[in-house]
Amino acid sequence: MKTVGLASFVTMLLACGLLSASAEARRVRTETANAFELKRHELTVSTGIVPGRYSFGYNYISPFDDGSLAGLYESAAYYEREYTSGVWSLGYTYNFTKLLAVYTSISYERGWTDYCRRSDDALAARNVDGYLSAVASFKVNWFNRPMVRLYSYAGIGISFNHYSNDSVGYPGKGRKYHDLMFAGQVTPIGVTVGKSIFGFAELGLGTCFSGIAFGVGYRF
């Protein structure tokens, strides 16, 4: 009886040890699966639903309104059709830690307005307004999981603006100018989904985009 009791006790101890080891192995596997792996570099390409400069208004100047009363009447003989290419951005992020990073981007957007005669809908002139912007931002990744990250960033930079205004039949004869302008972007919240290859969406306001932007990226 003593031998049987001792064997049962040893068997129970072994079973408890195996169960404990199995539970610990499961815990380690779970922690490993849930561990966030920091990758220093990120490359992204994105587009914004509403381009930043478009949301604030392009620098269009009517080719017919010279400030005189006659110019005002002439301008009223035409209507406008406005277009935009949208905004397209290339970005690079360097992650110092899983919390803090620097994000740099180059963005381009282009808008144009066609002036058409009300009498026959014929195109009479076209304004073109383009912006190439470079912005450097401080970024905070405040939620980090293997598949999902949440972040915010804000930054400033410069925009190179090219403007032209040509009448039909006289390309290059209208007004043209180039200018350097302030650029800035504030993005209160963004989310990435994926690991090495990921998709992302952002909500922000600024000269790069206003409203929602989305894109894809690669971490390495």
Q: Are strands 209-219 and 41-51 parallel, antiparallel or unpaired?
A: antiparallel
Mean per-residue pLDDT, 36-48: 93
User: What CATH number has the domain bearing residue 62?
Assistant: 2.40.160
Q: What value does the mean pLDDT of the chain take?
A: 82
Sole residue written with tokens 């499961």: 26
Q: Are residues 121 and 155 in the same domain?
A: yes
Q: Are residues 199 and 105 in the same domain?
A: yes
Q: Are residues 47 and 148 in the same domain?
A: yes
**CA separation for the pair 219, 97 (Å, rounded):** 14
pTM, entire model: 0.74
Q: What is the pLDDT of residues 134-170, one digit of tens each?
A: 999 999 999 999 999 999 999 999 999 988 877 776 5
What is the pLDDT, as a whole number, of residue 155? Answer: 98
Residues found in the chain = 220
**CA separation for the pair 9, 141 (Å, rounded):** 52
Contact 183, 160 (CB under 8 A): no
Q: Which residue has the higher pLDDT, 37 or 70?
A: 37
Q: Are residues 207 and 195 in the same domain?
A: yes
Instruction: List the domain range (segments joined by +) for residue 25.
Output: 1-35
Type of residue numbered 87: V
Q: Are residues 162 and 179 in the same domain?
A: yes
Sole residue written with tokens 């076209």: 126
Q: Are residues 146 and 186 in the same domain?
A: yes
Q: Are residues 190 and 213 in the same domain?
A: yes
Q: Are residues 127 and 199 in the same domain?
A: yes
Q: Are residues 43 and 89 in the same domain?
A: yes
Q: Are residues 124 and 97 in the same domain?
A: yes
Total structural domains within the chain: 2
